[in-house]
Amino acid sequence: KSRLANVRKKLKKVILRMSEKQQDVQTTLEALIDQRLEKWDVLKGMAKMRLNLISPYLVNWESPTMTEFIEDSPKLKFAAEMIKELRAMWNEDWVFIFMPFGTEYHGLFKQWIAEFAGVDPDKIWIINWNITDEQKDKVAEQFRNGEINVLIWWINTIEWIDLQKKWYITYNTLQWWNPTEITQLNGRIWRQWNFN
């Protein structure tokens, strides 16, 4: 009997309430859209609302502490809590976090995962806009052999990467505009011969 017959993809959807800071940003953006003082206010407001769903700091570009950043960003806090919970259950990491915006804050998120979830900071890797293809290949190999266990990735990882046999969970912090890109993103984990 094929091993694939027993493989089931699990999709966990949760409802997270906005933080107080997110709600304040949302209210401001709704007022901007309602006023329509400039030609592109509706589109600009919508784009910023999407960023606010990851973190209000991606809209206001403030300099929060690590704790403020996480407490005001429920999606990112949830991801860290799940990493901690799954590590306790399985004693493994093998995690991909898709965070296509806010590269300026990826370092704070990495620090939080290390401190809160107990992941060795040397095993958490950030891939952002300035990484070369050669560096990507090296990171993929380090992930496959266990040198790196948690990846925080920017938009340039919707395609390209194959982390066969190791990857078992993806955290998607933002639904992308293009549905084919969502399919590509899902394909980073849901692949042939990945029995995790």
pLDDT confidence of 23, banded at 50, 70, 90? Answer: very high
- In a 10 Å sphere around its CB, with 0-12 CB exposed, 13-18 middle and 19+ buried, how is residue 177 labelled? exposed
pLDDT confidence of 1, banded at 50, 70, 90? Answer: very low
The per-residue pLDDT for range 40-56, each reduced to its tens digit, is 889 999 999 999 999 99
Ranges assigned E (strand) in 40-168 = 95-98, 124-127, 150-153
What per-residue confidence (pLDDT) applies to 93? 62
Give yes or no for residue 194 having a pLDDT over 60: no
Ranges assigned E (strand) in 37-93 = none
Give yes or no for residue 167 having a pLDDT over 70: no
- CA–CA separation, 76 vs 112, rounded Å? 10
- Do residues 143 and 196 make contact, with C-beta atoms less than 8 angstroms apart? no
DSSP 79-100: HHHHHHHHHHHHS---EEEE--
Cα–Cα nearest to 189, from 120, 122, 174, 153: 153
* Whether this model's pTM surpasses 0.75: yes
Question: What is the number of helices (H) and of strands (E) in the chain?
Answer: 8, 4
Residue with the two structure tokens 């998120």: 109
- CA–CA separation, 89 vs 189, rounded Å? 20
Average pLDDT over residues 16-42: 92
- CA–CA separation, 39 vs 62, rounded Å? 27
pLDDT confidence of 141, banded at 50, 70, 90? Answer: confident
pLDDT confidence of 160, banded at 50, 70, 90? Answer: low
Average pLDDT over residues 111-133: 87
